[in-house]
Amino acid sequence: MTSNIDYIDKIPNNVDLGRDRVLQRALEHWQPAYMGWWYDMGPTESHHYDVYLRTAISVDPEGWAVFDYVKMPQYRWGIFLTPPTAGREVNFGINKGQPAWQDVPGEYRSMLRRLIVTQGDTEPASVEQQRMLGMCAPSLYDLRNIYQVNVEEGRHLWAMVYLLHRYFGRDGREEAEALLERRSGDVDNPRILGAFNEPTPDWLAFYMFTFFTDRDGKFQLSSLAESGFDPLARTCRFMLTEEAHHMFVGETGVGRIVQRTAEVMAEQHLEDPDDVRALGVIDLPTIQRYLNFHYSVTLDLFGGDISSNAASFYTTGLKGRYEETKIDDDHVLSDATYKVGTVKDGRVFDEEIPALNALNERLRDDYIGEVQAGVDRWNKIIERTGIPFRLRLPHKGFHRQIGNFAGYHISPEGDVMTEAAWKAKRDQWMPSAADYTFVQAMMAGRVVEPGKFANWIAPPRRGIHTQPIDFEYVRFN
Please identify, using beta-carbon distances, which residue of 408 and 471 lies nearer to ligand BYC. Answer: 408
- Nearest residue to 291 via CA among 320, 257, 325: 257
Half-sphere exposure of 378 (CA within 13 A, CB side): 29
| In the complex, minimum distance from the CB of residue 218 to ligand BYC, in angstroms, rounded to a whole number | 8
Distance CA 134, CA 200 (A): 12
- The sign of the CA dihedral 105, 109, 115, 116 is positive
Please identify, using beta-carbon distances, which residue of 194 and 285 lies nearer to ligand BYC. Answer: 194
Q: Give 408-467 as a DSSP string.
A: SEE-TTS-EE-HHHHHHHHHHHS--HHHHHHHHHHT-S---STT---TTSPPPSS-STT-
- The sign of the CA dihedral 12, 58, 8, 466 is positive
Please identify, using beta-carbon distances, which residue of 117 and 258 lies nearer to ligand BYC. Answer: 117
Cα–Cα distance list, 294 to 188, 190, 222, 279 (Å): 24, 19, 21, 25
Contacts of 56 (CB under 8 A, 6+ apart): 5, 12, 64, 65, 76, 78, 80, 155, 238, 242
Please identify, using beta-carbon distances, which residue of 142 and 152 lies nearer to ligand BYC. Answer: 152
| In the complex, minimum distance from the CB of residue 321 to ligand BYC, in angstroms, rounded to a whole number | 12
Please identify, using beta-carbon distances, which residue of 122 and 259 lies nearer to ligand BYC. Answer: 122
Contact set with ligand BYC (CB under 6 A):
115, 118-119, 122-123, 126, 153, 193-194, 213-214, 216-217, 220, 300-304, 307, 309-310, 319, 360, 402
Please identify, using beta-carbon distances, which residue of 190 and 285 lies nearer to ligand BYC. Answer: 190
Cα–Cα distance list, 427 to 25, 295, 453 (Å): 53, 16, 30
| In the complex, minimum distance from the CB of residue 187 to ligand BYC, in angstroms, rounded to a whole number | 15
Using DSSP's 3-state secondary structure scheme, residue 64 falls into coil
Please identify, using beta-carbon distances, which residue of 289 and 294 lies nearer to ligand BYC. Answer: 294
Please identify, using beta-carbon distances, which residue of 95 and 213 lies nearer to ligand BYC. Answer: 213
Distance CA 163, CA 169 (A): 10
Cα–Cα distance list, 101 to 94, 98, 286, 294 (Å): 14, 8, 49, 37
| In the complex, minimum distance from the CB of residue 113 to ligand BYC, in angstroms, rounded to a whole number | 11
| In the complex, minimum distance from the CB of residue 459 to ligand BYC, in angstroms, rounded to a whole number | 25
| In the complex, minimum distance from the CB of residue 319 to ligand BYC, in angstroms, rounded to a whole number | 6
| In the complex, minimum distance from the CB of residue 34 to ligand BYC, in angstroms, rounded to a whole number | 16
| In the complex, minimum distance from the CB of residue 307 to ligand BYC, in angstroms, rounded to a whole number | 4
